[in-house]
Structures are given as C-alpha cells and as structure tokens.
Structure 1
Amino acid sequence: MESDEVGLLENLVEEHPGYAKFIDDILMLTSSYLPPFIYINDTTNPRITSSVLDSVFGRLSQPQDWEYPPVRYARVNAVACFTARLFYDSVLNTLAGWKVRWQEGCENWPGDGQRWNDSIDSFLHGLKALHDSTGSSSHTVHKGKEKAPVQDQKPVMVIVIEKAERLKENLPELIIPLTRLAEMSQVNISTIFLSAVRWEDIKPSLGASPDPYYIDIEPHNKQDTIERLVSAFHSASFSQLSFNGINNIYHPALLPLYEHYAAMIYSICAVYTHDPYELQYIAAARWPGFVKPVLDEHRQAQGLARGDQSEEDQELIAIELAPPSEDQRMWLTRYFTPSITAALEALHPRSISAGEWALKNMPEPNLLSLEVVPRPLDRTKLGQKDNSMEHLPRMSKFILLAAFLASTNPAKTDVKMFGRGAGERKRRRRNGSPRKGAGRGGVAKVGFCSWLMEVPLLNSFSLYKKVPQRLSGPAPFPLDRLIAILGALLEENDVEMRPPAPDYVFPGEYTEMEIGRVQVYAAIGELTSMRTLYRTTPPEKLDGPPMFKCGIPFEAAQALARELKVPLNDLMWDPV
C-alpha cells in the first residue's frame, strides 16, 4: 500500500478509535470489489458506525491519486424516508450532489421537470441516467509499482440505508429491489444496510433476496470509549471553544487532565450507558466547571507576576498554562465526582440541556486558593442526622444494613449469625468465640437464598480473628448473599411493621415475597447511584452474580440500626 493509502487509513483510525478493523475491511473491499449488497450489524452504536461510513466514503469521493476507484456516496435514513418517493428523491439528489432550493421551486435532480420517483422502474432508470451522465474520470489505479491513468472509469455508487429495520414497517416492497439494485439497474452500485437488528429479522421470505456480505461491529471496550472521548477534546481544542466567557477550557496543555477526566466519566457512567455520544454529552457539561479552578489559579498567578513589573513590561509577562499537580488533580476528582452522578441523572433523560446544567452548577471562583475548601458531599458523615439517608425508604435502609453486614462479616458466619435451627432461634455470639456444644457436623437451615441453606457449622473461626473486617475495609459480596441477609433482617425485625396479610400462612412466606419484588432491585440500583453501594463487577460480565461493596461507615450503619431497632452489635462477627 502506497503512502497515500497508509495516511488515509491512519487518519480515519485516529478519528474513530476502535474501528480500525472495520475501516480496513471497507477500504479493502472498495479497492478490490465492493459487493452489491452489504449488511452491517451494530447492536450498540449504529450512529457512530454511520459517521464512520460518512468519513470513509466522504474521503473516497474526493479525487486523489490512490488505488481506490472514484465513489459517489449517499446515506439515507429509513425513518425519515417513510414513503417510496421520499426515498427515491433523497437517494438521487444525494448521489448527484443536487441541492433542493426553495427559490428554484424545490425541483429534484436533474431539474428539467423530469421525474424519477413514480415507481421502482423510474428509480432504476434514474440511477442509469445518473451513471451515464457522470463524466469520465482521470482517476488512477495501481498496477504493481506503477500508476496507470484510467480515463473512462465510472464512479462506484454507494447507498447506505441507516436504520434499515424500519424498511420492514414503512417500505417492505422495497427490500427485495434494494438488495438486487446492481442486478436490476445494470450499474456499478452497492447497497449497504446498517441496522441494530440481525438480517434474519427483516429478511423477506421465500429466499427472494440474495445473501448479503455480513459485517458485525464489535462493542466498544473501555479504552476505545475513553479514546473517543479524548478525540473530542482535540476537535474542541482546534476550534478554540469557550464557555460563558471562560477561555482556554480546551487548551492543549490541559489534555493530560482531560484524559484522567474522561476515565472518571467512564468509570461513573458506564454502569448506566456505554454510548460514547451520551458520555461525551455529560463530559461536555461538567468540563467547564471541572477546569475552572485550574484556569482561575493560572489567572491569579499571571496577575501576581504582572503586579511586580512596570507598565511597559506587564504585556511581556505571560505564564504558560500547565496542567495541575497530581495532588490538585486528585482533589478535583474527589470534589467533582458526586456532581457527575447528578449530571447523569439530569442529562441522560434530557431533562435539561448541557449548557444550562453547566451554568447552574459552576463552582465558586478561585476554588483551589481557598483555605477551607467546601465539600459538595462528605460521605464520611452519612451517619449524622442531616444526611441524604434520612429520607430513604424503609426498605432501602434495611438494604444498606444488610450490605454493611455482608461487607463486615465473613461469608462462612452467615448461618451462625442469621440461621435458624429446628424451629428455635440460635443465639448469636458477641465475643468472637464459637458457641459451646456446636458439633462439626451440625447443619443449619434457613430460607431466602442458597447462601444460608444446609451449610455445616464450623468449630472455629480463628482465621477471622486476626484483623477485624471493619478495620480492613469493606469486603465485596455477591447479590444473592445480600438478598439472603436482607430476608433474615426483615423476618426478625420488620414483622411488627407489616400490614395484615392473611393470605400468607407459612413462616417466612411474606418475607420471601417481599425480597423478590422488583422494587428491591430498583432500590439497590438507586443506592448504587448514590454511591452508598459500590458495584465491583462490570455490567457486561455475565458469569456469576454481580458483586457489591458497602459504601457507608460504621457510624452510619449504627444510626440506621437505631432507627430500625436492629441490634447491630449482635449481628456483627467482630462487634465494636
């Protein structure tokens, strides 16, 4: 491959991180033989794939000295083109580069009153006329190491149909002709369907359509998504964008800080969305406020440097903008992390625009120079009276208590702390020593979850007496263990608060119903968004239950236990 082709591939890959293989496949097909029917399936980000196709075929439509043939490219949306005439006119006008103008009567191509939108027959004749009207090209192709000019090479026509699955609802009669467009029109044309569903879901029956050339787009990984967010910084830096009078928010010197910022945005928001467009929207809303303390400090330093100089020398003083120190970067991350979640909740459903949200959430001036910096939300004080847990529902408070016990107690102690014997309550230990008389072969049974079913009691747990778990930090636990402990807490401490339920006659039946409700899992998701629970496994991991860690300290758990009248110390393996 010559240097021009290598440069084209490198530029396209740099513009679209994560699409290197896809771009290489499209360029290879275009340079050799572009199949008449291609089906591209992207289940996660079809909008980005559409922009990649625009970039590839947009570059190839420009006359250059490379091995690729000339291209005429049109992209239409099956949602916007909901009638056959709209589809025909959109394709022909875009392929011909024709602009529909109100001053000229909104005439379609070719502008002489001739119509190509009456039927599929006239559309095929329009494609043929457009192909014949295209002049000869002085394009060049490669033959070995030499370039041979081709004077009469006709361009390849490419039609990309975005959201192709909507053709089955709006224009089902066009699916078969579009898949056989090259055969029926007898011109060099390729039809590309881009969809989030499989071809088998929209494929016409009776085998009337040929099998397409399949291209599957793999989902973005974490690094590709972060690189795409960072690539948006380069575009904004080139455009020298400002916000509300704040200049240099996309200064090239701030690129290292933005890379850490993009990683922070992904780590917080990826639990809810992986769409790079959504993440970029949230990042653009929070970035002006995130970088404002750095710019304020730079402006202060520049003012102090100029204050010691004469008026003639002040204009010559210019301190270069530099990224903040590591300590300042970590402080900015801690300070603005809660606001990222707030931005996600407001911007993802588009309750407010990004610009309006950014204006309402701008930090105070000179934030880094304050002696006592205010904290937006101190998670270590959640146990105090004035905290965000005061207004939580009762079930959410029980979930937090269960999460605290799951993160504090060893998993093997659950049966001893929460289990029941043959109808009688087992007394919990308080001092770390096992109950006397408990044999090695004893079995405890309890409902709610397999975590507490038929687990043999152990004689000694001296392994866990070395370092108390509450001092070594919260330990991760699976979701089913959390649900099991929640059921045990509800059964022992919430019976008196329940409404009458005569339909449930068996012990534990009401609790089993309560912990299986959807609202319990919705409450767990809400607590995760509040950062009182932390999910330690990525959402895309399918093997095994999701893992969590408790995010509240002992003081907060103790306050919740007092409010719910739960004997917290009796339920801890190493009580305080």
Structure 2
Amino acid sequence: MPLTLLSAGYPEDTMRSLTDRLPCRETQVTSLLALMGEPDQYSYPSIFIYGHRSTGKSHVVLSIMKDLEIPHASVDCVECVSPRLLFHQVLLAFFGPDAAALLPRCPSLSDFVRLYKQMKDHATQTRYIILDKAERMRDMDFSLLPVLLRLQELVDDNVTVILLSEIVWEKFRPNTGCFEPLLFHFPDYSKAELVQILSQDHHPSYTPELYASYINILLGVFFSVCRDLRELRHLAALNFPKFCEPLEKGEATESDIHKLWRNIEPHLQRAMQTVYLREVSSIQWEQQQMDEKEATTPRGLSAHAHIELPYYSKFLLIAAYLASYNPARTDRRFFVKSHGKLKKTNFLKKHEKTSNHLLGPKPFPLDRLLAIFYSVVDSRVAPTASIFSQITSLVILQLLTLVGHDDQLDSPKYKCAVSLDFIIAISRTVSFDVVKYLYDFL
C-alpha cells in the first residue's frame, strides 16, 4: 500500500478495497488523494481532469468519493442543460431539498452564491462539486465557468470544483480569462492494461486462462482502431460465443488456440464494421449471423445495411460516394446531359487509370457534393437548412468524415466512409443504380 494513501487519514482496508476495484489506476488514485489532502484541510479551488473517453476519469473520482464517504455533488452536464439545473443539483446534494426549493425560477450566479453562503454550516470537511462532461458548459452562460473555478473564494467555504472533460484545457479555457485550475491527465490504457481489466470479466463456464487468450486475440484485431474500454468490453461479450463454438461442438479443446482463432477470425472481420456504432446487441448480432447463412443476399453486406436513413440523406450519401470515388473531371460525363462523346482514357492522367476503389476515398468540397446531389435526386430540392443538417447527421453517424480543421467554415471537405456493398444496398432502397455512375465500372 503506498504511503501517500495510508497518510491520508482513511481506513487502510477501505483504501485497499478501493485500489483493488480500480485496476491499472493506482497511480491516479494516489495522485488525486495527494491533491485532496487531509479531509479537514482546504483543498485547491478547482481541478481539471482530462483524458480520452473510457479512461476511468468519472469512475475513479466517484469511487473515491463514495468509498471514502466524502461529501460531494455529482452533476452530469449532459442532463443539466441550464445553470438552474446545475445549481439545483448542487444545493440538493449539500443542503437538502429545502435549500434547493429556495432557488428562484431563473436564478443568477449571485442568487446561487447567496443561497450557498446562507445555507452553509460550520462543517470543516471539504465538499466537492464534480462536473462530468464539463465541455458542455461551454454552451452555457460565459460567466458560469469562471465563477465555478473560484467558487471557494466567493462562498468562503471549503469547496472544490472538479471538472471532468475529454478535451484539453487549452480548448476549454474561456477567451475572457479565468482562474487556472490544477490540470490532471488520465492517459489511455495500454494493451497490457486492457488485457488485465477485460480478463476480469471471464465467463464462469470457462477457465480464466481461456478468456485471457480470447482477449489477447480480440485486442490483436481491434486495438489499432479502438482504445475505448466500454466499446472493447461490448465487443468481447458480443463475440465470445462464436469463439467458444468449437468447444461446445467438441471439435477443439481449450489448448487449441490456433483452431479457435481460425474459427473466429472471419467473424471478427465482420464485427470490425460495427465498432462504435452499437447497431446491435449481443443477441441481435448472433441472430443476424444465423440469418446471413440462410439469406440469398451477398454475405459481404455489413450491419450498416440495416441503418434506416431519411430519404434525402440516402441521396446525399450516394452523392458523397460518387464524389469520393469518381475523378472530378468525370462529373460532366455523368451528370451533364449534353456532354458530348468522351473517351475514358483521353481525359485522365496516367495514375488515375488505377482503380479508385483500390486507392480509397478522396476528399471533396461541399459545393461538389451538393452539385452531384441535385443531379441524382429525382425531384427538385431547395437548398434549405434541412439539407445541411442532414450532412451534419451523416458526419455524426460516421458515414461521412469531415476532412481538415474545424475552423474551415467557408470550404469544408468530406470523405465518404462506407463500403461499396453498403452504398449499393442504400441505392436499392431508392431505386437508383449507383454502379452506372461509377467510373471504375465503365
């Protein structure tokens, strides 16, 4: 047990239980408790904890607060869409429903500070306000964040605000300036740490060694594209029954790892197409695999084919695919009626004779996407805000990829991130023959 933990004034068995429940985060637990100090000491006014998604920020902080019975108010900034909801949560957690009921309908920051000072008691133990998904606060009142960062000074109480965020402080800091919090970084889990954490979820019907071998195989496929612990845990539960299939049939033993790997390899390749999308649950995924064996449609169709998109979003996605895989000089050939006769090899450079599908998608500007969209859609469509919002939705769904920096508002560029099988399936739903418009298939 680290000396820092034992000197923090908390029971030793509680500390040991805490570190056992937070594997691979002992260093972060030790450092946080060192920052917090003794329970009755004044702590630093604000701490900014940042790191990628699923690196244990919220879990570690809340586990410390609950296990050590530290007074705290936990606020999810996704749910608290207004300052009033945030103030209400804090007053309710610290002073009870009577204090929260005194909050005006549209409270100002001064109302919150006044009520807090009015309700505070003479307790000396540090109180903590934990703001999860704190980056959402950037959309609230611009003066809210500076006030919270120095709340300890304003209310004259031993209170510390902890901000949990997925973005760095440089992108979080207000332009008007504010009190600088202590910065604390949660690094990504390494591959060895992920193996250690995920192996704890082993199936009771099989040995822990077998499940650890399965996790090593799984991470060998997914670690390069996914470091998200929650997503990897979901993928592990999703694909483990397929890994154990030869064992249930008596075709292999737990020591035949190579045979088990050959059985699950094609299954994992198909599962790669569902990373982060969470389109199916474990039961639905197994049912889908059974249906694929009986279906007459090509097995190459991914789970994306089951996404239901709005009508014009489908045409926007088709236009994006054509813009990604057709050379720009071919647009006149495909989308202008009186283009004349052009030979395929005369107007392309030598390197463009290579299949564009082998070279991968190329970025295209927004105006080219819209020009192709208005050409392929079978009705007259006005360029309304709805069309642009559907483009944004396709980016959020990871069907389109925004290329370049976020500040390039005048000329954004995109790439299409779907496969040929997927775009063919989408085209069938709107009775559009996309292959006729692809240069590689002329």
Q: Provide TM-score, normalisation by structure 1.
A: 0.48
Aligned-partner residue type, residue 75 of structure 1? S
Q: Which residue of 2 aligns with 1:274?
A: 227
CA distance in 2, matches of 1:22, 1:181: 25
CA distance in 1, matches of 2:290, 2:124: 56
Work out the number of aligned pairs and report it: 306
Do structure 1's residue 190 and structure 2's residue 160 form an aligned pair? yes
Secondary structure at the aligned position of 2:161 is classed as strand
Q: CA deviation at 1:79?
A: 2.4
Do structure 1's residue 500 and structure 2's residue 428 form an aligned pair? no
Match of 2:103 among 108, 111, 115: 115
- Superposition pairs of residues 356-435 of structure 1, within 5 angstroms: 356-361=284-289
Q: Which residue of 2 aligns with 1:178?
A: 148
Secondary structure at the aligned position of 1:12 is classed as helix
Secondary structure at the aligned position of 1:160 is classed as strand
Deviations 1:292-333 (A, max 9, x none): 5545659xxxxxxxxxxxxxxxxxxxxxxxx94412x33222
Q: Which residue of 2 aligns with 1:163?
A: 133
Relative to 1, partners in 2 of residues 1:388 and 1:84: Cα closer, same or farther, differing over 3 Å? closer
Deviations 1:130-184 (A, max 9, x none): 531xxxxxxxxxxxxxxxxxxx853321111122222122332201111111110
CA distance in 1, matches of 2:357, 2:110: 55
RMSD: 3.4
Deviations 1:367-392 (A, max 9, x none): xxxxxxxxx9xxxxxxxxxx999xxx
Aligned-partner residue type, residue 73 of structure 1? H
Q: Which residue of 2 aligns with 1:262?
A: 215
Do structure 1's residue 216 and structure 2's residue 185 form an aligned pair? yes
Secondary structure at the aligned position of 1:214 is classed as strand
Match of 1:230 among 165, 177, 199: 199
Q: Which residue of 1 aligns with 2:381?
A: none
Q: Which residue of 2 aligns with 1:457?
A: none
Do structure 1's residue 85 and structure 2's residue 81 form an aligned pair? no
8 Å CA contact retained: 1:50, 1:162: yes
8 Å CA contact retained: 2:54, 2:230: no
Relative to 1, partners in 2 of residues 1:181 and 1:282: Cα closer, same or farther, differing over 3 Å? same
CA distance in 2, matches of 1:12, 1:510: 64
Do structure 1's residue 326 and structure 2's residue 255 form an aligned pair? yes
8 Å CA contact retained: 1:46, 1:196: no
8 Å CA contact retained: 1:168, 1:202: yes
Structure 1 gaps of 5+ residues are 62-70, 99-108, 133-151, 234-248, 299-322, 364-375, 377-386, 390-497, 524-576
Relative to 1, partners in 2 of residues 1:500 and 1:333: Cα closer, same or farther, differing over 3 Å? closer
8 Å CA contact retained: 1:182, 1:190: yes
8 Å CA contact retained: 1:36, 1:190: yes
Do structure 1's residue 52 and structure 2's residue 57 form an aligned pair? no
Q: Provide TM-score, normalisation by structure 2.
A: 0.61
Deviations 1:454-493 (A, max 9, x none): xxxxxxxxxxxxxxxxxxxxxxxxxxxxxxxxxxxxxxxx
CA distance in 1, matches of 2:14, 2:360: 49
8 Å CA contact retained: 2:134, 2:163: yes
Secondary structure at the aligned position of 1:172 is classed as coil
Secondary structure at the aligned position of 1:326 is classed as coil
CA distance in 1, matches of 2:136, 2:126: 26
Secondary structure at the aligned position of 2:204 is classed as coil
CA distance in 1, matches of 2:148, 2:100: 26
Q: Which residue of 2 aligns with 1:41?
A: 50
CA distance in 2, matches of 1:500, 1:296: 55
CA distance in 2, matches of 1:514, 1:5: 72
Q: CA deviation at 1:500?
A: 2.4
Q: CA deviation at 1:190?
A: 0.5
8 Å CA contact retained: 2:46, 2:161: yes
CA distance in 1, matches of 2:118, 2:244: 56
8 Å CA contact retained: 1:156, 1:189: yes
CA distance in 2, matches of 1:284, 1:325: 18
Do structure 1's residue 350 and structure 2's residue 278 form an aligned pair? yes
Aligned-partner residue type, residue 355 of structure 1? I
Relative to 1, partners in 2 of residues 1:518 and 1:191: Cα closer, same or farther, differing over 3 Å? farther
Relative to 1, partners in 2 of residues 1:356 and 1:37: Cα closer, same or farther, differing over 3 Å? same
Q: Which residue of 2 aligns with 1:240?
A: none
8 Å CA contact retained: 1:282, 1:344: no
Do structure 1's residue 520 and structure 2's residue 352 form an aligned pair? no
Deviations 1:184-233 (A, max 9, x none): 011111111111222122212343x2111111122221111122212333
8 Å CA contact retained: 1:158, 1:192: yes
Larger Rg, first or second structure (1 or 2): 1
Instruction: Percent identity, please.
Output: 22
Structure 2 gaps of 5+ residues are 301-341, 363-442
Match of 1:31 among 31, 34, 37: 37
Q: CA deviation at 1:88?
A: 1.0
Aligned-partner residue type, residue 178 of structure 1? L
Secondary structure at the aligned position of 1:13 is classed as helix
Q: CA deviation at 1:121?
A: 2.1
